[in-house]
Structure 1
Amino acid sequence: MNVQTGARIAVAGAGALGSAVALRLARAGFSVTVFDSAPSGENASGVAAGMLAPVSEALFDPVSRDHLDLMRRARDLWPAFAEDLGLEIVRAGVRIEGSESWRGQVDRRLRDLGLPSAATIAEDWRIEARPALRTLRAAAEAAGARFEARLVESFAPGVLRLSGGGVEAFDVLVLATGPGVRAGRLAPETAALAPIKGQILRTDAATDDPAVVRGEGVYLAPGETLAVGATMEVGRDDLSPDASATQALRAAAWALRPDLDLGQAEVEVGVRVTTPDGLPLVGWSAAPGVLLAVGARRNGWLLAPLVADMVAAYLNGDNPGPDADAMDARRFEEPET
């Protein structure tokens, strides 16, 4: 499908994927409006630690283990993307700490990935998530995109229905939000998505060390505050803090830093969605006029520039690149008999 420049594009979701898509499309000359009912930054992308960490994901998330090359290609788009926006990439890497036996397990996983043993994974980076969201939104608005705090209820080409009964005319809906879209409500392919509730602890603990520390069952990410994360509660999509679920997280953090004060730590909750293979759905839906960019699991920030470029290519009828098959929006469809 080739959509003419200047077409009216609705983007559902103002997280990393939706905001990057909005920026890319607005700069390409499309008329873009982003719809998200959540306050700015209060989504999974805002709660996240902002990791751009392909090796760490392949090491510590079994679902992502086979996607290292793709994730590296996505990360390699970030230097130009960040420079254009004036965003800082923190390149201090991810340092592995923990018991000798656990570090031995990590070494074996590195070898299985064809990588040398290392105490610090230098090629894994991070950004500050909430400031990055604000910067993306400002850049998209400067390019002509609009952001509205409303929820998309339904879509057919030319007719977008919003919460509260509003109806607006749009040519295409880009679905870039996770919670609330599963079970095929806006696109049948979203029936393949499952929610993952993630809780992060944030504390004002000061550190001069810019590196992320990765231990068994936990990471410590410095920044505006120290992020201690994160739980992975598959199948849960509520946003309520749950002390029972963060107990193991606290224990793992104290195993690394016994003096860390987590008594007054703030608990932040986000809900991500994932596909069975851990890669997002990107491409045209079977639903007319709906383009998918959803389901990035823990890698919304990492994949944002890549997905934005792919969405623009699909709209323009161009080649979406070497990762189109791996992220094909309809790859989980049941074969016809």
Structure 2
Amino acid sequence: METKLRVRVAVAGAGAIGSAVALTLVRAGFDVTLFDPNSPGDNASGVAAGMLAPLAEAVFDPVSTPHLALLRRARDRWPAFTAGLDLPILRDGLRVEGEAAWLAGIAARLEALGAPFQRLDGALVDAEDWRVEARPALTALRIGFEALGGRFAARALAADDLPAFSAVVLATGAGDAGGLAPELAALTPIKGQILRADRGPSSGPVIRGEGVYVCPGDRPAIGATMEAGRADLAVDPSATAALRAAAIRLRPELAEARMTTEVGVRAATPDGLPLVGWSATPGVMLAVGARRNGWLLAPLVADLVAAYLKGDHPGSDATSLDARRFSRT
């Protein structure tokens, strides 16, 4: 596709992936409008710890274990992606703490993956995993996008908008995007709840324990539930009680913390990887279904979308993320 003609592209959804796609496309010379009816950060990407953590995902999430190499390649795109943005990458790594028997099991998983780690003060530590602060990162992506001439529309993409664009990229999370793409039938919603504490570790590595993580910051994130098949945004204290208890076991000072709950709904495919590429619907491209790895995968997905729109070869990861892999017979 000839970008010098300023081909007009609509991107629906301003979460991590939609924002990364919009920025990457405007950098490539496309005329891009990003649509989202929600306030900045009022989406699953804003209700997230901003993990760029291939190793932790592979160790603690069995669905992600087979994809470790791909997740590492995605993480490695982040330094180039953030060039010129006020978006720091926090490279404090991972610290795993817990009872000896449980830690032995985690160490065995790390060894099976060939992951480098150390034993330090009774914990397992690794420097491989990174993170970003989710809501500031969304703001930085929006600023970078608009500084290059991208336009933001504070509303949902409507059917009446479609004739004005040569292509539409759906990055709408768990929503059905108005039935624009049959491939979306492969997605299922996953409700996730995290706690934000008014005290706790402000810096340093992400701390993982049995059934919980504590992510340092001004308001440390404690997460996260994974409630498959649920798409409601209701706060459910019964689902987060175990998170709170597990976090206090890791860091007893959190017993005095005031905690608030944030809720987001993510979309997932059967294999845990997103749908990226052309839909069977002409002119519609998918960039959806990243499960819990939207932040980690965002630059990789954005690069694939740009390659497809430019007519370039999308690279070796395109087959694994093929948008139509579940709908072909």
Return the TM-score normalized by structure 1: 0.92
Divergent runs of 4+, >3 A:
2-5
The correspondence for 2:165, drawn from 158, 161, 170, is 170
Which whole-Å CA distance do the structure 2 matches of 1:334 and 1:309 have between them? Answer: 24
Which whole-Å CA distance do the structure 1 matches of 2:135 and 2:180 have between them? Answer: 28
Q: Deviations over 1:158-186 (max 9, x none)?
A: x536xxxxxx621211001113227x812
- Residue 84 of structure 2 aligns with which residue? 84
Q: Match of 1:199, as an amino acid? A: Q
Which whole-Å CA distance do the structure 1 matches of 2:223 and 2:215 have between them? Answer: 8
Give the CA deviation at 1:4. Answer: 4.5
Q: Match of 1:52, as an amino acid? A: L
1:227 and 2:230 aligned: no
- Residue 43 of structure 1 aligns with which residue? 43
Bigger CA drift: 144-153 or 324-333? 144-153
The correspondence for 1:134, drawn from 134, 139, 149, is 139
Contact 1:250 1:262 in 2 (8 A): no
Q: Deviations over 1:111-144 (max 9, x none)?
A: 2212245311210011111101000000000111
1:146 and 2:140 aligned: no
Q: Deviations over 1:73-112 (max 9, x none)?
A: 0111111222331321111101000111111110111122
Alignment of 1:2-151 (within 5 A): 2=1, 4-5=3-4, 6-118=6-118, 119-151=124-156
The correspondence for 2:233, drawn from 239, 242, 249, is 239
**Structure 1 residues 3 and 176: alpha-carbon distance in aligned structure 2, compared to 1, 3 A threshold:** farther
Bigger CA drift: 261-270 or 59-68? 261-270
Q: Match of 1:124, as an amino acid? A: D
Q: Deviations over 1:272-308 (max 9, x none)?
A: 1011001000000000100111111111111111111
Q: Match of 1:169, as an amino acid? A: A
**Structure 1 residues 139 and 180: alpha-carbon distance in aligned structure 2, compared to 1, 3 A threshold:** same
- Residue 199 of structure 1 aligns with which residue? 193
Contact 2:3 2:28 in 1 (8 A): no
List gaps (5 residues or longer) in structure 2. 119-123
Q: Match of 1:137, as an amino acid? A: R
The correspondence for 2:261, drawn from 262, 267, 276, is 267
Which whole-Å CA distance do the structure 2 matches of 1:225 and 1:151 have between them? Answer: 30
* Corresponding residue SS for 1:105: helix
Q: Match of 1:131, as an amino acid? A: P
- Residue 164 of structure 1 aligns with which residue? none
- Residue 165 of structure 1 aligns with which residue? none
Which whole-Å CA distance do the structure 1 matches of 2:101 and 2:172 have between them? Answer: 40
Q: Match of 2:9, as an amino acid? A: I
* Number of residue pairs matched by the alignment: 323
Alignment of 1:291-310 (within 5 A): 291-310=285-304
Q: CA RMSD in A?
A: 1.6
**Structure 1 residues 299 and 3: alpha-carbon distance in aligned structure 2, compared to 1, 3 A threshold:** farther
Q: Match of 1:180, as an amino acid? A: G
Q: Deviations over 1:305-328 (max 9, x none)?
A: 111111110000001111000000
Give the CA deviation at 1:247. Answer: 1.2
Which whole-Å CA distance do the structure 1 matches of 2:3 and 2:92 have between them? Answer: 43
Contact 1:51 1:301 in 2 (8 A): yes
Which whole-Å CA distance do the structure 1 matches of 2:137 and 2:3 have between them? Answer: 30
Contact 1:205 1:226 in 2 (8 A): yes
Give the CA deviation at 1:224. Answer: 2.5
The correspondence for 2:309, drawn from 311, 315, 319, is 315
Which whole-Å CA distance do the structure 2 matches of 1:318 and 1:206 have between them? Answer: 47
Which whole-Å CA distance do the structure 1 matches of 2:204 and 2:107 have between them? Answer: 23
Which whole-Å CA distance do the structure 1 matches of 2:139 and 2:176 have between them? Answer: 24
Q: Match of 1:236, as an amino acid? A: R
Contact 1:282 1:327 in 2 (8 A): yes
**Structure 1 residues 46 and 104: alpha-carbon distance in aligned structure 2, compared to 1, 3 A threshold:** same
- Residue 121 of structure 2 aligns with which residue? none
Give the CA deviation at 1:206. Answer: 4.0
Which whole-Å CA distance do the structure 1 matches of 2:171 and 2:256 have between them? Answer: 34
Which whole-Å CA distance do the structure 2 matches of 1:29 and 1:209 have between them? Answer: 38
1:179 and 2:174 aligned: yes
Q: Match of 2:154, as an amino acid? A: A
